[in-house]
Chains A and B, each alone.
Chain A
Amino acid sequence: MARTAAILGALGRALRRDQKSIAAVVGNNFFIVTALVLQEAGAFLYLILGLILLFTLSTDPLRKIPVSRLGLWPLERSERWILRAASPWVNPVTWLIGGSAVWVVRGKVTVGLWGLCGGLIAASFILSALPLGPRGNLWRRMPRFPEPLNHLIRKDLREMLSTLDFYVALLLSLAALAYRVWGPPLPQEALMPVTLLVVVALSSYAQCLFGLDGESGLERYRLLPVSGWQVLLAKDAAFLALAILVALPLAPMAGLGAALVALAVGHHATVHHQREQIRWRFSAGAPVIEGLVQCALIATAGASVGHSAWMMGPCVLAWAGSVWWYGRQWDATDHSGGSYAILP
Chain B
Amino acid sequence: MCRNLTRRFGEFTAVDGLSFHVAPGAICAFLGPNGAGKSTTVKMLTGLLAPTAGEIEVCGLDPRTNPIELKRRIGVLPEDLGLFDDLTVEEHLQLTASVYGVGKQEAKDRIAQLLRALSLEHGRRTFASACSHGMRKKTSFAMALLPNPRVLFLDEPFEAIDPVTSKIMRDLLQSASRRGITVFLTSHILPVAEEIATQLIMIRKGKIVWDSPASELPQALEQHYFDLVESPVVEELEWLGPPRS
Contacts and interface: CB of A to CB of B under 8 A. Distances in A.
Interface string B13-54: 000000000000000000000000000000100111110100
Nearest to B87: A155
Contacts of A227: 68
Interface residues of A, number: 38
Interface in B66-106: 67-69, 71-72, 76, 78, 80-88, 91-92, 94-95, 98-101
A69 interface: no
A217 B83 contact: yes
A340 interface: yes
B127 interface: yes
A227 B76 CA distance: 18
B105 to A, nearest CB: 14
Contacts of A222: 47-48
B116 interface: no
B212 interface: no
A151 interface: yes
Interface in B155-192: none
B86 A134 contact: yes
By size class, the interface of chain B is: 35 or more
Best-buried of A133, A134, A135 by chain B (most CB within 10 Å): A134
A146 to B, nearest CB: 10
A181 B217 CA distance: 81
Interface string A127-148: 0000001110001100000011
A138 to B, nearest CB: 12
Nearest to B78: A219
Contacts of B226: none
25 contacts: A133-B127, A134-B85, A134-B127, A139-B86, A140-B88, A155-B91, A212-B86, A213-B84, A219-B82, A222-B47, A223-B71, A223-B78, A223-B82, A224-B99, A225-B71, A225-B72, A225-B99, A227-B68, A331-B67, A334-B48, A336-B48, A336-B50, A338-B52, A339-B50, A343-B65
Interface of A: 133-135, 139-140, 147-148, 150-152, 154-155, 158-159, 162, 212-217, 219-220, 222-227, 331, 334, 336-341, 343
Interface of B: 9, 43, 46-50, 52, 64-65, 67-69, 71-72, 76, 78, 80-88, 91-92, 94-95, 98-101, 125, 127, 129-130
